[in-house]
Amino acid sequence: MIAILGAGSMGRLWAAKLPARQVAFVPRPEQSLESLAYQFRPLKGPELSIQIPWLPHTQSPSLLVVTTKAGDTLDALKQVVPRLPETSPIVLFQNGLGSQQRVAETWPNHPVLAATTTEGANRPESALVVHAGQGETWVGALTPAGNTYLTETVAKLAESGLSVNAETDILSRLWQKLIINAGINPFTAILDCPNGKILTHPFYQQWIAPLCHEICELQTASGQSSKSPEALREAIEAVARNTAANTSSMRADRLAGRTTEINFINGYLARLGAEVGIDTPVNQMLTDQVKQLK
Q: Which residues bind ligand PAF (CB under 6 A)?
A: 180-181, 184-185, 195, 239, 243, 246, 248-249
The b-or-e profile of 230-264 (16+ CB within 10 A means b, else e) is: eebbebbbebbeebeebbbbbbbbbeeeeebbbbb
| Min separation Cβ 246 and ligand PAF, Å | 5
Closest C-alpha to 91, from 105, 77, 75, 79: 77
Q: Could you give the angle at the alpha carbon of 203 between the alpha carbons of 234 and 245, nearest 5°?
A: 60
Whole-angstrom Cα distance, residue 279 to residue 294? 27
Say if strands 36-41 and 112-117 run parallel, antiparallel, or are unpaired: unpaired
90 vs 184 by CB, closer to ligand PAF = 184
- Could you tell me if 262 and 292 are in contact, meaning their C-beta atoms sit under 8 angstroms apart? no
Question: What type of residue sits at position 260?
Answer: T
Residue 177 appears among annotated catalytic residues: yes
Q: How many CA atoms lie within 13 A of 119 on its CB side?
A: 26
Q: How many CA atoms lie within 13 A of 146 on its CB side?
A: 24
Whole-angstrom Cα distance, residue 294 to residue 280? 24
Question: Pick the catalytic residue: 17, 69, 156, 177?
Answer: 177
**Measured CA distances, 114 to 71, 111, 272, 291 (Å):** 15, 10, 20, 26
Whole-angstrom Cα distance, residue 10 to residue 131? 9
Known catalytic residues? 177
